[in-house]
Structure 1
């Protein structure tokens, strides 16, 4: 199970990076107003602004990574790691956007990190590879070990 943690952390980091890019992109656009504007054109303007578009593309990469992880490990093991994205985002928000990180947020971040450590220590089961299982059923001594 631990061999998939780098993929899980890649998912977390790309998810957090996407959030930071989206925030920066929206800061560049300023406060949104749909008054007197075609909403479809406004949405297209938002989606295709450079930082928002890059953030959305990064989300796609994050989602692809997450799908890979889900094909390998239990959802109840992989999904809680995504809460670490909050930790990464809070750190970047503090340094890049000068957002406040008060004592309550720090305690919350510590609890998230502690909970994630517990989950990581719990292990989890890797999904079986049906092709390997089929080979094992036919020729048990020649089948490769399931990873």
Structure 2
């Protein structure tokens, strides 16, 4: 694996984690959306946090597709497992979520098991 390929995998992890956190922050401001009120998602796109989250998730998709062009799926998916740790850290410090010890144990078991 070349440095460029490691950077693509790292970018995939960071883009995905940042995108998920931004999307979560934006959607918390929108409120609960149900299947019967999907129309509420239209104005959500204009929420700055949701828009930035979508852009980062687009970056994730591009780096994910790029990674799949040179590596097996069974390599790419486990390589993203660090994203769970990154999401938990960002959620705790940026979103003020309470990440309990039990959640950390679960995150580490899933990340380490992959």
Structure (1/2) with the larger helix percentage: 2
Say yes or no: TM over 0.5. yes
Offset of residue 29 of structure 1: 2.5
5 Å-filtered alignment, 1:123-142, equals: none
Q: 1:25 touches 1:49 (CA, 8 Å); kept in 2?
A: yes
5 Å-filtered alignment, 1:107-146, equals: 107-115=105-113
Aligned residues: 113
- Which aligned segments of 4 or more residues in structure 1 are displaced greater than 3 angstroms? 30-35
Offset of residue 83 of structure 1: 2.4
Distance 1:34 1:76 in 2: 33
5 Å-filtered alignment, 1:1-147, equals: 1=1, 3=3, 4-32=5-33, 39-40=38-39, 42-115=40-113
Q: 1:22 touches 1:51 (CA, 8 Å); kept in 2?
A: yes
Q: 1:11 touches 1:66 (CA, 8 Å); kept in 2?
A: yes
Q: 1:84 touches 1:112 (CA, 8 Å); kept in 2?
A: no
Offset of residue 51 of structure 1: 1.1
| 1:71 counterpart SS class | helix
Q: TM-score, normalised by structure 1?
A: 0.66
Distance 1:79 1:34 in 2: 29
List alignment gaps of at least 5 residues for structure 2.
none
Distance 1:72 1:112 in 2: 25
